[in-house]
Structure 1
C-alpha cells in the first residue's frame, strides 16, 4: 500500500482509538478502531500478495502491534499477546531484509524465547531494517508484562524494554554517523495533535524526518514504560531518570501530550530533585510545570497544585538548611553521577542554576516569605469546605515552615511567638472535624498539637532555668498549668480509642496504632516530670504520678507487641519505673530532715 495512504489511515484509526467513548460503553471507540485496523491489515495483505515488499510487511507488522495492544487495553490478554508475538515473528524476518511467503497464517513467536533475548537483533549491517517495528513490539510486550499481577513479570517487562532502549541508542549512533545532514527531534515540525507536519517538510528530507519522528515517538513510549516499571520496583532514582526523559521527549514530539498531566509530572519530578538537595534542578522542573500548566478554568488540580508545589519546594529548602544549622542534616548533595542524564526542558524558562545556601536569619526569612506566598495562593484553590484534608495539609505545611525558621532565630520570646502561630494554624480543626469521618486526621492533628505545645514548653523551661536579659520567665504555677495543657492533647489523642459502649480504651488496639499510642503514653509520663515544685512533698507526689504513667506505658507494651523500633523506648520506660522510686527516697529524706 502507498506509504502516505497507509499512514493517513493508520493515524486516523489511532486517533479514534484514543477518543473517549459514551458513558454506557467507554470502550466503544477501541472496538471500532480494532475493526478498522483489521480491515486495513487485510488490504495491506492483499497488496503484499500481489507485490511482496519490506514496506508492506512493516505495515502489516504495525497493524498486528496495534491490534495486540488494543486487545490488552480491553482485557483480552491471551489474544492480544498472540497478535504481538506474531508481529515479533515479522520483525525477525524484516530485520534481516527477508520476506515472508505467508503473511496471513503467521506463527506467534514463543514468549519464553523472546525473554531469552537480551541483545537487539536489528543491526547496522542490515541498515537497521525494521527497527521501528522492533521498538513497537518490545514496547507492547513491556506494557503487557508491567501490568501483570505476578511480581516476576515486572522483571520481564524491564528486560524487554531495556532491549528496546539498547536498540534505539545503537540506531541513534548509527543514524548520526550514516547521515551527516541528520535531523534531531527538536528540528522536526510536529502538529499539536502529535502527528508529523509533512506539509512543511521538503520531499527530499521527508524520508529521514519520518524515520527520526517514528523512532523518537517509539522511544518515548519505551521511556514511559520504563519509568512505570522502575516506580513499581521502588527504584526511585531510575524511575525519576526515565520520567525526566519521558517528559523531555513528550515536549518534542507531543506524544499523548496532556498539558495538565505533563505539568503535574514535572512538579512531582521537582520533589525528587529536592529530596536529593539539588534545588536548582528542582526549581527548573517547577518552572517547567508552571509554564505548561493550563491557566483556563483554574482550580486546585491546575494552578492550585502548582502553588502548593512551589510552597513545598521552599519549605523543603528551608527545612534542609535548618537541619544543617543544627548539625543534623540528613545527607550530602545531589550525586554527581546523576548529572550525566540531566537535560534542560526545551522551554522558555531559566536553565537550572545552583541556589545559594541559607545561612542567616535574613536568608531564612526570605525563603520563608516565598513559601508563605505560595502556600496562601494554594489555599485560595484548596478551600476548607470543598478540599478539607488538602486545606489542612497546607496549613500544616505552613506550621512546618515556622518550625524550619525557628533554628535561625535567637530571641526566645520571638521563638515562642512562632510556636504560637504554628498552633493557631491547626488548633481548631480537631474539634471542628467529624471524628467518624476523619479519624486518622483528627488523631494526627492532636498528636501534632501535643508536639508543638511540648516544644513551646521546652522554651519556657529554658527561660525558667537560664533567663536572659529582658525575658520574663513564667511562674511555677503557669508552667505547670501549661504542662497540663500539653498533656491534654495527648490524653485526647488516646481517648479517641475509647469504645462507645464502655467509654474505656480496650486492652489491645490495632497494630498500626500501637506505636503512636505508646509514644503518647510515654510523653504523658515525661511531661509529668517537667513541673516545678518548691515543696519536696509535692514533688514526691508528682513522681508517684509519673511512675504510674510509666507503668501504664509498660503494661500497654506488654499487651500490644510492637516492632523493634519501640524496644529502646520500652526499655527506657522500665528504667524510669525503677529509678524514680530511688529519687523519691531522696526526697523523703529531705522532707523529713526539713521537718
Structure 2
C-alpha cells in the first residue's frame, strides 16, 4: 500500500475530503430539479478511491461484493450468540485487517450515499459488504467506530422498512460492542474519516472521543424509536432520556428540537405518575429553549423570509412546550382527585389527613429520588433548571392552597399557549387549550370547601366554553362540538346540584323561595338542553335516532339519555300539567336506556349503574304519573 507521505496517498486523501464536502456542504445547495447532484459526484469519487485502494493493496485480495436485493440479514441480539467480534481481547489489527477496515469504510460511505439518494437496495448491499469485510477483523480502537456506525445505518434502513425486529438486532449489537469496548479498552478510537487523512490532519484525542460518543448517542436514539415501535414504552423512555442527557454533555443538539423532545418525554412520565421526572424534563425544556435566542421584534426592519420563518417556529415550539406544562399541572390535579375522593366524588377528609401525615416520608423519598435520577444539564444549565423546578411542585396537592399553586402555574401556561394558538388559524388547538383550562378549574374546584366559590369556578368554565360551542360550525367541527355540548351539560348539572345543596343548607324549612327555584330550574334546563343537543347531533338528517350506537359514542349517548331523564324529573313546577309533561319525558328516556340495552345486550356493560337505576325508575314512574293524573282529575 502507498505510504502516508506519498503523492498518491495525498491525492486519495484530497479526493476523500472533496467527497465529504460534496456530501455535507455542497449538497445543501443542489437545485430542486437535480436534488442529488453533489451526492452523485461524491459517489464517483468514493468509487475511484475504492479502486485505487484495492490496486495499492497487492495481489490475493478477495472482492467484498455480496448479493444485492432486499435479502434480510440477521444480527445477534446479544453479544456472542453467533459471532465474537472481539476475539480474545483488544489489540492492534494487522496491516491486512486495517486495510480491510478501510475498504469497509468506503463500502459504508457508499452505502450511506445510496441510501441518501433513495437507492435502498444498493445501499443495503454496500453496508452488508462492509459487515463482511469487518468479519476479518477483531474489534479494536482502529475500527470500533466503523463497527458501530455500519450497524446504526443498517438499523435505520430496516426500521424504515418497518422491519423493527431486524433493526433491533443490529442496534442492540452496536450497543453491546460499545459497552464492551469501553469496559475492556476505552481509549479514544480512530474515527473512520481518519482512514483517509494525512498525518498532520489527524484528530485530537478529545475530538475522537466526542465523535465516538456521538455515534453511540445515535445508537441509543434509534433504539428508543425501535422500542417505542415494539410497544416497550419503559425502555423507550429510558433510552430517550439517556439520549437527551448525552446530547447535552456532548454539546451536540439543536436547542428547540432538544427542548421539544424533552417536553414530549415528560408526557410519558406524567402518564406514569412520575412527576419528578416529568417536571425535570419540562424545566430543562424551558431552559434549553431559551438558548435558541430571543424572538426578534415584530418591528425588525426588512426582516428576511428565513428570519420570519425562524421566529414563527420559535413561537410555535415554545407554545407547544407550554401545552406540555398545562398537561403536567392538569394531571397532577386529576391524580390528586382520584386519590382523595370518596365514593360520591367528594373530598375524603380522613384520607386527606392520612396523606398529609405521610407527606414528610414522601418528601424524603423525593429527595432520594432526585439524587438517583438521571438529571439533565451541564454546570452552565443545571442551576437554571433546578431554579425553574422550584417554582412547580411535583408532589400531589393535598389541600386547596397546594392545588391553587398548581392551578396558577397551569393557568399561566394556558395564557402563553393561547398567544400562539389563537382561534383564528388554530381552531382545534385553541379549543383543546380551553378545554384544558376548564379541566384545571374542575381540578381546583374539587378542593374548594366553599360551595358558592366552587359554583363560581364552574361558571367560569361555562363562560369560556359556551360561546365557542354556540359559534362553532357543526359541519366541520362536529366531534369537538359534541365534546363541548357534553361538558357544558355536565357543568350545568354540577352547578344545579351545588345550588340545591346551598339552598337546603341556608333554608330554615324545606321550602325553597321563588328565586332559588327559578335559578335551579334554569340550571336544570340548561343541562338538559346541552345533553339533548348532544343526542340530536347523533340523529340522521331527518331527526331519527340511530338504531345502533357506535362504540365511541355508546356510553356518552346512554349516559346523556339517563341524565335527561333525571333532569326532567327534578324540574320544579307548581302546575300539574307541567309536572306531568316532565315526568312523561323522564319516563321516555329511562325506557330508551332499558330498551336499547335489551336490544343490544353488549351495551349493558358500558352503563351498568345507569341501566340498573333506569330499570328501577321505569317501574316506579308510571305509578307516580298515574297518581298525578288521578289528582288532576279529582281537582277538575
> TM-score over 0.5 for the alignment?
yes
Q: Give the alignment of 1:225-240 within 5 angstroms.
A: 225-240=222-237
Pick which of 574-583 and 482-491 moved more. 574-583
- Answer yes or no: is 1:316 the counterpart of 2:312: no
Partner of residue 375, structure 1:
414
Task: Pick the aligned partner of 1:585 from 623, 627, 631.
Answer: 623
Please say if residues 447 and 489 of structure 1, whose CA atoms lie closer than 8 Å, have aligned partners that are also in contact. yes
Partner of residue 111, structure 2:
68
For residues 523-559 of structure 1, what are the alpha-carbon distances to aligned partners after superposition, in whole Å with 9 as ceiling and x for unaligned?
A: 3233334434678886665443222112223444566
Q: Give the alignment of 1:436-451 within 5 angstroms.
A: 436-451=475-490
For residues 13-57 of structure 1, what are the alpha-carbon distances to aligned partners after superposition, in whole Å with 9 as ceiling and x for unaligned?
A: 441487375444555555454444434444444444599654443
Partner of residue 115, structure 1:
none
Task: Pick the aligned partner of 2:247 from 250, 254, 261.
Answer: 250
For residues 110-162 of structure 1, what are the alpha-carbon distances to aligned partners after superposition, in whole Å with 9 as ceiling and x for unaligned?
A: xxxxxxxxxxxx4xxxx45522121112112211222224xxx3222222211
Partner of residue 238, structure 2:
241
Matches of 2:54 and 2:369, distance apart in 1 = 49
Matches of 1:20 and 1:246, distance apart in 2 = 30
Q: Give the alignment of 1:96-107 within 5 angstroms.
A: none
For residues 62-100 of structure 1, what are the alpha-carbon distances to aligned partners after superposition, in whole Å with 9 as ceiling and x for unaligned?
A: 2322332343444433222211111111111122xxxxx
The secondary structure found in structure 2 opposite 1:487 is helix
Which gives a bigger RCO, structure 1 or 2 (Cα 8 Å, sep 6+)? 2
Partner of residue 479, structure 1:
520
Please say if residues 322 and 405 of structure 1, whose CA atoms lie closer than 8 Å, have aligned partners that are also in contact. no
Partner of residue 552, structure 1:
592
Matches of 1:367 and 1:18, distance apart in 2 = 49
Partner of residue 108, structure 1:
none
Task: Pick the aligned partner of 2:431 from 392, 412, 426.
Answer: 392
Query: How many residue pairs were aligned?
Result: 535
Shift of 1:486: 0.7
- Answer yes or no: is 1:358 the counterpart of 2:401: no
Task: Pick the aligned partner of 2:272 from 264, 269, 276.
Answer: 276
Please say if residues 20 and 42 of structure 2, whose CA atoms lie closer than 8 Å, have aligned partners that are also in contact. no
Partner of residue 432, structure 1:
471
Matches of 1:513 and 1:244, distance apart in 2 = 37
Partner of residue 64, structure 2:
none
Please say if residues 587 and 621 of structure 2, whose CA atoms lie closer than 8 Å, have aligned partners that are also in contact. no
Task: Pick the aligned partner of 2:177 from 156, 167, 192.
Answer: 167
Pick which of 583-592 and 297-306 moved more. 583-592
Change (3 A) 1:227 1:475: same
Shift of 1:418: 0.2
Q: TM-score, normalised by structure 1?
A: 0.78
Partner of residue 524, structure 1:
564
Partner of residue 130, structure 1:
143
Please say if residues 259 and 288 of structure 2, whose CA atoms lie closer than 8 Å, have aligned partners that are also in contact. yes
Matches of 1:379 and 1:423, distance apart in 2 = 18
Partner of residue 160, structure 2:
147
Q: Which ranges in structure 1 are unaligned for 5 or more consecutive residues?
A: 96-121, 184-194, 197-201
Matches of 1:426 and 1:538, distance apart in 2 = 31
The secondary structure found in structure 1 opposite 2:135 is helix
Task: Pick the aligned partner of 2:537 from 453, 472, 496.
Answer: 496
Pick which of 359-368 and 348-357 moved more. 348-357
Partner of residue 266, structure 1:
262
Shift of 1:8: 4.0
Change (3 A) 1:475 1:588: farther
Q: CA RMSD in A?
A: 4.0
Partner of residue 305, structure 1:
320
Shift of 1:267: 0.9
Matches of 1:447 and 1:32, distance apart in 2 = 62
Please say if residues 591 and 618 of structure 2, whose CA atoms lie closer than 8 Å, have aligned partners that are also in contact. no
Please say if residues 300 and 381 of structure 1, whose CA atoms lie closer than 8 Å, have aligned partners that are also in contact. yes
Q: TM-score, normalised by structure 2?
A: 0.73
Please say if residues 27 and 37 of structure 2, whose CA atoms lie closer than 8 Å, have aligned partners that are also in contact. no
For residues 289-334 of structure 1, what are the alpha-carbon distances to aligned partners after superposition, in whole Å with 9 as ceiling and x for unaligned?
A: 22332243255423222332333323333333343332699x9999
For residues 220-255 of structure 1, what are the alpha-carbon distances to aligned partners after superposition, in whole Å with 9 as ceiling and x for unaligned?
A: 111111111111122222111111122222234455
Please say if residues 399 and 447 of structure 2, whose CA atoms lie closer than 8 Å, have aligned partners that are also in contact. yes
Matches of 2:98 and 2:507, distance apart in 1 = 86
Change (3 A) 1:407 1:513: closer
Matches of 2:439 and 2:480, distance apart in 1 = 16
Partner of residue 101, structure 2:
58
- Answer yes or no: is 1:344 the counterpart of 2:359: no
Please say if residues 13 and 37 of structure 1, whose CA atoms lie closer than 8 Å, have aligned partners that are also in contact. no
Change (3 A) 1:310 1:31: farther
Change (3 A) 1:418 1:34: farther
- Answer yes or no: is 1:292 the counterpart of 2:331: no
The secondary structure found in structure 1 opposite 2:385 is coil
Matches of 2:480 and 2:14, distance apart in 1 = 59
Matches of 1:530 and 1:265, distance apart in 2 = 51
Please say if residues 555 and 606 of structure 2, whose CA atoms lie closer than 8 Å, have aligned partners that are also in contact. no
Matches of 1:66 and 1:86, distance apart in 2 = 11
Partner of residue 104, structure 1:
none
Matches of 1:446 and 1:43, distance apart in 2 = 74
Please say if residues 318 and 358 of structure 1, whose CA atoms lie closer than 8 Å, have aligned partners that are also in contact. yes
Please say if residues 435 and 442 of structure 1, whose CA atoms lie closer than 8 Å, have aligned partners that are also in contact. yes
The secondary structure found in structure 2 opposite 1:494 is helix
The secondary structure found in structure 2 opposite 1:266 is helix
- Answer yes or no: is 1:87 the counterpart of 2:119: no
Pick which of 421-430 and 475-484 moved more. 475-484
Please say if residues 17 and 33 of structure 1, whose CA atoms lie closer than 8 Å, have aligned partners that are also in contact. no
Change (3 A) 1:44 1:552: farther
Matches of 1:18 and 1:276, distance apart in 2 = 44
Partner of residue 75, structure 2:
none
Change (3 A) 1:477 1:87: same
Partner of residue 192, structure 1:
none
Shift of 1:586: 6.0
Shift of 1:6: 7.8
- Answer yes or no: is 1:460 the counterpart of 2:460: no
Task: Pick the aligned partner of 2:455 from 396, 416, 419.
Answer: 416
Pick which of 22-31 and 406-415 moved more. 22-31
The secondary structure found in structure 2 opposite 1:427 is helix
